[in-house]
Amino acid sequence: MLSTHPAGVQSGRQFLPKVTDASPNQELLPLTARINSSDRLEIGGCDVTTLVEQFGSPLYILDEDTLRNACCQYREAFKKYYPGESQVLYASKAWSCLAVCAIASQEGLGIDVVSGGELYTALQAGVSPDKLYLHGNNKSLEELKLAINSGCTIVVDNWHELRTLGHWSSVIGNSDTNDPVRIMLRLTPGIECHTHEYIRTGHLDSKFGFDPNQLDEVFAFVSQHSALNCVGLHAHIGSQIFEQQPHQDLAGVMVQWLDKASSYGLQMQELNVGGGLGIRYTEADDPPSIEAWVKGVCTAIQNACVTQQIALPKLLCEPGRSLIGSACVTAYTVGSSKTVPGIRTYIAIDGGMSDNPRPITYQSVYRAVVANKMSAPATQTVTIAGKHCESGDILIKEATLPPSEPGDILVVLATGAYNYSMASNYNRLARPAAVVVKAGEANVILRRETYQDLMRQDCLPARLSSET
C-alpha cells in the first residue's frame, strides 16, 4: 500500500506488512515484522538491533516464516488452479545455501540450479535428485557428469551441449541405473517483457536457449538418441516482471511446441514456464500476487491445451526472487557522514556494493529504515553510501530517514534475492554473516568470513617470501 503520511514525515511504520496472510512479494518487509515496545524493528520475534549486537554487521536476516509462506502460496495455488500434476522449483541462483535449499525442499519444492556448485549444495541439503534441474548455457563436462551421476534433469541449452550429451550419455549413461539421461530442451520464445535489459532472457537476441527455427532439427536429433530421455520443454522470459500477459503468451507458444514434438515420436510430459514474478522494492512497485500469477499461467496452459487438443502436461515453474526477496533484510551500522552544502548529505554504512551489488549493477532502487528509531519522523533525505573505494558505491541515492547518527542500525529491505548470491570480496572485505529467525530464535546459516578466510586460497611462491 502507498504511504498515507505526508511527504517528508514518514516513519518506519509505513513499511510494516498490512496483513499477515498477504502475498510476500507484495510486501516491503517480512511478514513477521513488527515494532516492539522499545520502538525497535523485530523480525521473526527477534530484535534487529540485538541481532547486530550478537552477530555483528552487516548482517543478512532471513525470516523463515515469510519464506515458507511464499513456498506454500505457490504450492497451494497450483493445486487450486491446475487439475494436472505440477511442481514448483526454487530458482536457487537467487540465494543458494544449505539452509535455504533445505527449507524449500521441506515445503515440497524442487530446486533449479545453474552450476555444479549449486547442484552440490542442493544435494548436500538433502534435496531429492528427481526434483533437481540443472540449467546453464555453458555447462562443463564435470557439471554434466555430476548431473548424470546424481540422476537430476539437465535442461539442455544449445547444440554443443546436446551433441555432447548425445555422444557421452550413450557411453556412460547414468552410472547407478544405466537409465537414459533425463533432459529438457530450453527454447527462446521471442517474448519480451518490460524489465532491465540484463534480466530479459526470453527475447530472440539472448545467449540462452535454442532458436525456435531450429525446432525440427533439434527434435529429430533427440528422437534418434535413445540414451536421451527428453521429458519436456523449458522457457524463461525474464526477471522482476509485473506484467501477466507475457507469461500467458508463453503458454500458448510452448503448448504448440509440445504438440510439434509428438510428430517426432517424442512423448514429452513436462512444461516449465520459468519464473520471473517481481517483488515490491519501493512503494511505487505493484506486482501481481503469487496466487494471481499462478492462476494466470494455469488458465493459459489449460486453454492452450484445449486449443491444441492435447492432454495437460506436468506444469513446472521456477520462482526465485518472489520466494525469498522480501523474506530477508540487511542490517548495517551507520558510521561517518558528509554534507555537501546545497547538494546532498552522505550517510556511510559498514557494507555496500560487496554485499549488495544490485544498485551499481542494475541501478536497482531499495528502501531503508532505522531499526532503532522505527517511529521517528523521516525528516531528512540522504544518500546512503557504502564503505568501498568506489564512487559508485551508493546503496540508495535518496533515502528518506529520521536524523541518523553513528551507531544507528540501518536496515535495507527486500535483500533476499541476488545479494548474498552475488556478494564479493571487493577491497578484501569479508562477506557478512546470515541468520535465519523464527519464533524469537536466531540461528547462523552462513558464518561471517574472517581475514583468514580471505587468505585461504592465496599462495605465496617461495621466491617472493620475505623469509628467503
Query: Which residues 6+ apart lie within 8 Å of 430 measured at CB?
Result: 448, 449, 450, 451, 453, 454
Q: Is 448 annotated as a binding residue?
A: no
The residue among 344, 370, 345, 269 whose CA lies nearest residue 314 is: 269
Q: Is 367 annotated as a binding residue?
A: no
Q: What are the cell numbers at 34?
A: 513488527
Q: Is 398 annotated as a binding residue?
A: no
Q: Is 358 annotated as a binding residue?
A: yes
SS3 state of residue 166:
helix
Alpha helices in 417-465 (DSSP H): 451-455
* φ, ψ for residue 90, nearest 5 deg: -85, 125
Q: Return d(Cα 367, Cα 357) in angstroms, integer.
A: 15
Q: Is 428 annotated as a binding residue?
A: no
Q: Return d(Cα 235, Cα 190) in angstroms, integer.
A: 10
First to last CA, the chain: 66
Q: Is 320 annotated as a binding residue?
A: yes
Among candidate residues 46, 71, 389, 459, the one labeled active-site is 389
Q: Is 118 annotated as a binding residue?
A: no
Query: Which residues 6+ apart lie within 8 Å of 465 measured at CB?
Result: none
Containing H/E element for 316? strand 314-317
Q: Is 362 annotated as a binding residue?
A: yes
DSSP 214: G
Please state the separation of Cα 343 from the chain's center in Å: 36
Q: What are the cell numbers at 262?
A: 509428438
The answer to whether residue 389 is catalytic is yes
Q: Is 321 annotated as a binding residue?
A: yes
Extract the annotated binding site for pyridoxal 5'-phosphate: 276, 318-321, 418
Extract the annotated binding site for substrate: 321, 358, 362, 390, 418
Extract the annotated binding site: 276, 318-321, 358, 362, 390, 418
Give the catalytic positions in this structure.
389
